[in-house]
């Protein structure tokens, strides 16, 4: 009866995604007779619109203020009420009916005006003529490699998020065991440190072994809607803490990842520029058959963001190492930016290994985008997963064109002026920027008072080679936020 209803789901969505107003019109015309005949009782039981709808503008389509399935077509201020088909909702931003879980219910007028202003400042689409390495890198769909993939070494970026402490340090030591390995087969990882319950002595150990220390946050809270000064304080305070208590050289702290992988719109990236960071790894993609390559944020992000709070403005020269979703062809385990968020219940270590390998081959056999393997401590709590990862790493180490590097080491390779003269087996890791030696063999154990976010005074324990401070390391007081450097003794 209603033509639109018999179009298969997938196609329906695809057509509506195209955003053509013709499609919307067609839809409305088909739908009108049946919809207008429907009584209010069918409106999912919501009766809040007692007052008649008033058109905010003479013409156009507008959301009903209290019922997401309903919208109005205004024609010279005369509204006609329309219902989206069953299970669909009116998305007042895209101005179309779409699936319930994707729809942004309206009305969103006030926001719209802001958005129009933002739109003017929005980053333009990639212009490969203008965007040239080493300062800029982009491609139309984000998946074009910088040089012929045949000559690109396959990089694996092991990235671990969270506090480092006695619960997980032994897992990391055992995975990243470089005993008796040749230089080019060394495993390097990148740690996104979270401050709470972190053992600064262990961080120093990882750092001196050649791993990269990057930042998550001090508090671990969701910062998605925080403003730039909150982001600056989280990253700036944590950087100072790691310089101070883990002896990390300031020039080695270059990268960040938003807590819980929730980017903070433009505010976060504004803070990164102001604080002088080089790269970010907070953006994740939807599952893609061809993985995207890292890019600079000079131009519009070239792929669909899995979390909607990606930056939209241009942040020239700031690198993004996006997390491609992990998945395999038969969908076992699901799809996940962090591998520990996929499901491997009852799987043997061999099937975990095969899963990782299949996922990895999408990069290896395709455009050689670096394989970013991100995980939390959780991964190691299941023995078959830990063993499966060890098998994967051992296998990768036997290939002469696969290298384990940190985030910054990868970018040093990508921005090397002789990039086009390299070959896939010729990678040599750059010498460390800073000489790294443990500053002590036995750390101090500190028992410190700390005020929890609910105001309760507690005791916290931490280990560091440095002298114990008076209070637990935390966010700098906001007054000091613009204060340059560290306030007391270095
Ligand atoms: C690292 O590997 C060596 C042998 O290659 C072994 O003796 C040592 O116990 C391992 N260390 C860790 C921390 O697993
Ligand atoms: C940023 O957010 C914090 C916390 O919500 C608030 O106290 C501060 O005034 C805000 N700063 C600016 C510049 O808006």
Instruction: Please tell me the distance between residue 177's alpha carbon and the centre of ligand 1 in angstroms.
Output: 6
136 within 8 A of 298, measured Cβ to Cβ: yes
Two tokens, residue 54: 């008033």
**How high is the pLDDT of residue 29?**
37
Question: What gap in Å lies between CA 384 and CA 351, rounded to an integer?
Answer: 9
Two tokens, residue 403: 């290298």
- Helix (H) / strand (E) element for 408: namely helix 407-414
Two tokens, residue 260: 């819980």
Two tokens, residue 267: 């505010």
**How high is the pLDDT of residue 342?**
95
| Cis bond before residue 451 (omega within 30° of 0) | no
The full set of domain ranges for the chain reads: 59-99, 124-421
Q: What is the mean pLDDT of residues 250-265?
A: 97
- Considering every ligand atom, which ligand is closest to the CA of 225? 2
**How high is the pLDDT of residue 412?**
96
Is the model more confident about 101 or about 456?
Answer: 456
Q: Is the pLDDT score of 24 beyond 60?
A: no
Which amino acid residue places its CA nearest to atom 4 of ligand 1? 179
- The whole-model pTM stands at 0.77
CA 331-335-336 angle, 5° bins: 155
**How high is the pLDDT of residue 40?**
38
Two tokens, residue 461: 């324990």
Q: Would you place residue 321 in the very low, low, confident or very high pLDDT band (cuts 50, 70, 90)?
A: very high
Q: Would you place residue 290 in the very low, low, confident or very high pLDDT band (cuts 50, 70, 90)?
A: very high
Q: Is the pLDDT score of 4 beyond 50?
A: no
Instruction: Please tell me the distance between residue 113's alpha carbon and the centre of ligand 2 in angstroms.
Output: 22
Q: What is the mean pLDDT of residues 45-65?
A: 76
Question: What gap in Å lies between CA 82 and CA 179, rounded to an integer?
Answer: 69
Structurally, what CATH architecture does the domain formed by 59-99 represent?
Beta Complex (2.170)
Which residues have C-beta within 8 Å of that of residue 327, sequence separation ≥ 6? 287, 333, 334, 335, 336, 342, 359
**How high is the pLDDT of residue 13?**
33
- Give the chain's count of helices (H) and strands (E): 10, 16
Question: What gap in Å lies between CA 82 and CA 95, rounded to an integer?
Answer: 13
Which amino acid residue places its CA nearest to atom 14 of ligand 2? 227
The top-level CATH class assigned to 124-421 is: alpha beta
- Residue 254 DSSP class: -
| Cis bond before residue 58 (omega within 30° of 0) | no
- Considering every ligand atom, which ligand is closest to the CA of 479? 2
Is the model more confident about 114 or about 329?
Answer: 329
Which amino acid residue places its CA nearest to atom 3 of ligand 2? 230
CA torsion 416-421-424-427 (nearest 10°) is -50
Q: Is the pLDDT score of 464 beyond 90?
A: yes
Q: Is the pLDDT score of 1 beyond 90?
A: no
Strands 371-375 and 154-161, bridge-based pairing: parallel
Which amino acid residue places its CA nearest to atom 14 of ligand 1? 174
- Ligand 1 nearest-atom number relative to CA 177: 1
- Considering every ligand atom, which ligand is closest to the CA of 221? 2
Give the binding-site residues of ligand 2, using a 6 Å CB cut-off.
227, 229-230
**How high is the pLDDT of residue 434?**
72
- Considering every ligand atom, which ligand is closest to the CA of 386? 1
Ligand 1 and 181: CB distance under 6 A: no
Q: Is the pLDDT score of 487 beyond 70?
A: no
- Say which residue the tokens 């509204």 belong to: 79
Ligand 1 and 173: CB distance under 6 A: yes
- Ligand 1 nearest-atom number relative to CA 173: 13
pLDDT single digits (tens) 164-204? 999 999 999 999 999 988 888 899 999 999 999 999 999 99
Instruction: Please tell me the distance between residue 431's alpha carbon and the centre of ligand 1 in angstroms.
Output: 25
- Ligand 2 nearest-atom number relative to CA 226: 2
Q: Is the pLDDT score of 322 beyond 60?
A: yes
**How high is the pLDDT of residue 116?**
61
Q: What is the mean pLDDT of residues 40-54?
A: 57
Is the model more confident about 45 or about 146?
Answer: 146
CA 253 to chain centre: 19
Which amino acid residue places its CA nearest to atom 13 of ligand 1? 174
Average pLDDT, the chain: 86
Two tokens, residue 302: 């070239």
pLDDT single digits (tens) 422-454? 999 999 988 876 779 999 999 999 999 999 888
- Ligand 2 nearest-atom number relative to CA 228: 1
Give the phi and the psi of residue 214 in degrees, each rounded to 5. Answer: -120, 180
**How high is the pLDDT of residue 478?**
78
Which amino acid residue places its CA nearest to atom 3 of ligand 1? 179
Ligand 2 mutation pick, 226, 229, 232, 482, max ligand atoms within 8 A of CB: 229
User: What DSSP string describes 144-208?
Assistant: --SS-GGGPPEEEEEEEES--STTTHHHHHHHT--TT--GGG---EEEEEE-TT--HHHHHHHHH
Q: What is the mean pLDDT of residues 43-47?
A: 44
Which amino acid residue places its CA nearest to atom 2 of ligand 2? 227
**How high is the pLDDT of residue 113?**
52
Q: What percent of the chain has pLDDT over 70?
A: 85
Instruction: Please tell me the distance between residue 229's alpha carbon and the centre of ligand 2 in angstroms.
Output: 7
Q: Would you place residue 413 in the very low, low, confident or very high pLDDT band (cuts 50, 70, 90)?
A: very high
- Among 55-59, 240-244, 440-444, the least confident range: 55-59
Two tokens, residue 249: 């050289």
- Ligand 1 nearest-atom number relative to CA 180: 5
- Considering every ligand atom, which ligand is closest to the CA of 232? 2
Ligand 1 and 180: CB distance under 6 A: yes
Instruction: Please tell me the distance between residue 393's alpha carbon and the centre of ligand 1 in angstroms.
Output: 15
- Ligand 2 nearest-atom number relative to CA 478: 7
Ligand 2 mutation pick, 226, 228, 230, max ligand atoms within 8 A of CB: 230
Q: Is the pLDDT score of 2 beyond 60?
A: no
Q: Is the pLDDT score of 43 beyond 80?
A: no
pLDDT single digits (tens) 92-149? 888 888 888 888 888 876 555 556 666 678 999 999 999 999 999 999 999 999 999 9
Which amino acid residue places its CA nearest to atom 10 of ligand 2? 227
Which residues have C-beta within 8 Å of that of residue 25, sequence separation ≥ 6? none
pLDDT single digits (tens) 215-236? 999 999 999 999 999 999 999 9
Q: Is the pLDDT score of 12 beyond 60?
A: no
């Amino acid at each position: 009866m209603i033509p639109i209803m018999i179009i298969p789901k997938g196609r329906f969505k695809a057509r509506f995604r195209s955003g053509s107003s013709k499609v919307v019109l067609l839809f409305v015309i088909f739908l009108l007779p049946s919809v207008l005949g429907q009584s209010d009782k069918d409106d999912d039981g919501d009766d809040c619109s007692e007052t008649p709808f008033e058109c905010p503008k003479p013409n156009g389509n507008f959301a009903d203020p209290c019922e997401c399935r309903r919208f109005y077509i205004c024609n010279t201020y005369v509204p006609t009420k329309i219902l989206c088909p069953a299970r669909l909702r009116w998305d007042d931003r895209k101005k179309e009916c779409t699936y319930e879980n994707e729809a942004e219910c309206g009305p969103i007028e006030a926001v719209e005006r802001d958005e129009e202003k933002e739109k003017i400042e929005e980053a333009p689409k990639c212009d490969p003529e203008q965007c040239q390495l080493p300062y800029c890198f982009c491609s139309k769909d984000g998946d074009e490699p910088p040089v012929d993939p045949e000559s690109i070494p396959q990089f694996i970026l092991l990235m671990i998020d969270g506090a480092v402490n006695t619960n997980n340090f032994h897992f990391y030591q055992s995975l990243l065991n470089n005993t008796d390995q040749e230089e080019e087969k060394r495993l390097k990882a990148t740690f996104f440190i979270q401050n709470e319950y972190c053992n600064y002595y262990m961080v120093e150990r990882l750092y001196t072994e050649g791993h990269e220390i990057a930042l998550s946050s001090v508090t671990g809270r969701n910062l998605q809607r925080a403003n730039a000064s909150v982001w600056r304080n989280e990253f700036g305070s944590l950087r100072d803490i790691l310089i101070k208590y883990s002896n990390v050289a300031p020039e080695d702290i270059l990268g960040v990842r938003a807590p819980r992988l929730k980017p903070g719109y433009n505010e976060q990236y504004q803070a990164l520029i102001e604080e002088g960071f080089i790269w970010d790894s907070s953006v994740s993609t939807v599952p893609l058959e061809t993985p995207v390559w890292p890019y600079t944020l000079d131009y519009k992000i070239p792929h669909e963001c899995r979390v909607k709070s990606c930056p939209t403005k241009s942040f020239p020269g700031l690198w993004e190492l996006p997390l491609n979703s992990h998945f395999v062809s038969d969908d076992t385990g699901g799809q996940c930016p962090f591998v520990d968020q996929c499901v491997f219940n009852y799987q043997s270590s061999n099937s975990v290994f095969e899963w990782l390998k299949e996922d990895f081959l999408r990069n290896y056999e395709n455009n050689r985008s670096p394989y970013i393997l991100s995980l939390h401590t959780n991964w190691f709590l299941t023995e078959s997963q830990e063993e499966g990862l060890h098998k994967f790493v051992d296998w990768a180490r036997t290939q002469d064109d696969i290298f384990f590097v940190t985030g910054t080491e990868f970018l040093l390779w990508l921005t090397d002026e002789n990039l086009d003269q390299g070959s896939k087996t010729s990678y040599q890791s750059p010498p460390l920027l800073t000489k790294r030696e443990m500053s002590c063999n036995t750390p101090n154990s500190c028992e410190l008072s700390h005020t929890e976010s609910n105001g309760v005074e507690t005791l916290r324990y931490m280990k560091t080679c440095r002298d114990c401070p008076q209070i637990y390391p935390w966010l700098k007081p906001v007054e000091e936020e613009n204060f340059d450097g560290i306030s007391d003794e270095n």
